[in-house]
Amino acid sequence: MSDALRRAAGVRPGAPALDDGDRVWSYAEMDAAVARTARRLAPLGAAPGRTVALVAHQSTLAVQALFAVPRTGATLAVLNPRLGPEALERALNDVAPDLLLSTEADVYELGVDRGWFTTLDDLPKPPPDHQSAEGLRTPTDVRRAFALLWTSGTSGTAGIVPITWAALDASAQAVSERLELNVEDRWYGSLSIAHIGGLALVHRVVHVGCCLVIRGTYSVGTFVDLLNRSEITHASLVPTMLEQLLDARGDTVGDRGGDRGVPEALRCLLVGGAAASDRLVEAAVSLGYPVALTYGLTEACSQVATAPPALVREKLGTVGLPLSGVEVRVADDGEVSVKGPTVSETSCDEDGWLATGDQGLLDDEGHLWITGRLGEGIISGGVNVDPRRVEEIVLDMPGVAAAAVVGIPDTTWGEVVGALLVPESGPLDLESVEAALRERVSSSEAPRRLAIAEEIPRNANGKVDRVAVRALLLKPGPA
């Protein structure tokens, strides 16, 4: 099998593949650049049986590496530079890469020893006797992992999920059909390539043969500028980004898109990663934004079910029918399970079913509605947070005798982290605790609400009563 980029370069060599603001790369140019990168990575240790980690935000170099590493036969592991030093170290320990790649800009942002990384900006040329670019071909086993993603998963426990070539192809084809994508589309690379939404986005663009538009790390200002200039037709967002978009454009319900109006070029805002409130979706739809709602997870290679804009306008809140080839069932307790060609074989049972940990229902038309989560995991701004890990770090703070961490509903982030603390003795300075925590956890894990109590509420079995904890944290004033 040839990879999606090589296929697109063969079919549409002169078509725009990537627009980074400085240059528009054709598919033939991108394919040639990927071949050069692969040829230069091979002598550095990128080879079959090896793991190569990429720690980078979305950029031209990062996208090229995304396709180059698999051409060497190595397994790619993509990590988010925003993990923070502690989480990044844990992830690297789990992935155990033989080669660690980044860019000069990302290494500078990380603030870590540059000696850890081989930077993509100026890779050494291979020796003359080394394998040529033409000798480097993508392995033909479609069940082989295209990439490994380090994720907290549906259970909130850190782990590694292999994303196969076959799953990416099946997902791209099904999403293309559901959203009626075509070669004229221009998709904004708004999501991190270290998350399945961002990785699947890049692969989907190449699968369709349309253009990926990237402008460095996401910012709402850049997004608004691209929209106003009609430079994009599609964007993938988590609910927080959609809220920021409406605020940044000065949109008011009923004015059809604020001062500028919704650009006619915009065909779809794909919203997923966390539950979007009905209030937010209704506001965006009433303004004329073409919102599509999707539900998915890393273990299912991103999207499981997607409601295109027309369905969102008709049935606010549903995430629509399962994608082509994907089966969904809902158990008596409401848990959603998924089966199909996009589901990771390492995550499902012997019959191929993946229990998601999410609760939902299927209506009479087969449309899926997600109603909550079975477990205690928190999803803040589309990022999975393990409350047990945050609790352990909070308990390590001086003066804290006990702690309970829960998710608190939030109109912007979906959920934010809240922590109820019991002091060892005497007063506890919450501002000092909050400042110390910011040094040890990511921004998604950092508690946005801290409160003090005499004891942690527990049920009759002695387990933490998280409903009661949440109620205490939501009370105005001290808990």
Residues 287-326 pLDDT 10s:
999 999 999 999 999 999 999 999 999 999 999 999 999 9
Predicted confidence at residue 300, as pLDDT, reads 96
**How far apart are alpha carbons 213 and 195 in whole angstroms?**
18
Strands 414-423 and 400-410: antiparallel
Residues 369-386 pLDDT 10s:
998 777 777 888 888 888
DSSP-derived 3-state class of residue 423: strand
**Cβ atoms < 10 Å from Cβ of 179:** 21
Q: What is the DSSP string of 187-240?
A: EE--S-TTSHHHHHHHHHHHHHT-EEE--SS--HHHHHHHHHTT--SEEEE-HH
Predicted confidence at residue 114, as pLDDT, reads 77
CA angle 30, 31, 32 (to 5 degrees): 90
- Work out the widest C-alpha separation in the chain, in whole angstroms: 72
**How far apart are alpha carbons 221 and 277 in whole angstroms?**
23
Q: What is the DSSP string of 429-476?
A: -HHHHHHHHHTTS-TTTS-SEEEE-SS--B-TTS-B-HHHHHHHHHSS
Point out the least confidently predicted range of 173-182, 283-292, 362-371, 470-479: 470-479
Measuring CA to CA, how many Å separate 476 from each of 38, 377, 432? 57, 24, 21
Q: What is the DSSP letter of 322?
A: B
Q: Please give the structure tokens belonging to residue 377.
A: 């995991």
How many helices (H) and strands (E) in the chain?
Answer: 14, 23
Angle of the 239-248 helix axis to the 278-286 helix axis, nearest 10: 40
Fold of 381-474: GMP Synthetase; Chain A, domain 3 (3.30.300)
**Contact predicate 172/203, CB 8 Å:** yes
CATH of segment(s) 4-140: 3.40.50.980
Point out the least confidently predicted range of 9-13, 177-181, 428-432, 460-464: 460-464
Closest by CA to 397, choosing from 444, 435, 426, is 435
**134 pLDDT tier (thresholds 50, 70, 90):** very low
Q: What is the DSSP string of 4-16?
A: HHHHHHHH-TTSE
Predicted confidence at residue 459, as pLDDT, reads 61
Residues 457-475 pLDDT 10s:
876 445 678 888 999 999 8
**How far apart are alpha carbons 193 and 63 in whole angstroms?**
8
Predicted confidence at residue 133, as pLDDT, reads 45
The overall average pLDDT reported for the chain is 89
Label residue 106 left, alpha or beta by phi (over 0 means left) and psi (-120 to 50 means alpha). Answer: alpha
The yes or no reply on domain 186-373 and CATH 3.40.50.12780 is: yes
Q: What is the DSSP letter of 296?
A: E
Please report, for the chain, the start and end positions of each structural domain, with discontinuous segments joined by +: 4-140, 186-373, 381-474
**How far apart are alpha carbons 362 and 397 in whole angstroms?**
45
Q: What is the pTM of this model?
A: 0.80
Q: What are phi and psi of 148, to 5 degrees?
A: -110, 130
Q: Please give the structure tokens belonging to residue 140.
A: 């033909």
Mean pLDDT of 82-111: 88
**How far apart are alpha carbons 134 and 124 in whole angstroms?**
18
Give yes or no on whether 4-140 and 186-373 have one common fold.
Answer: yes
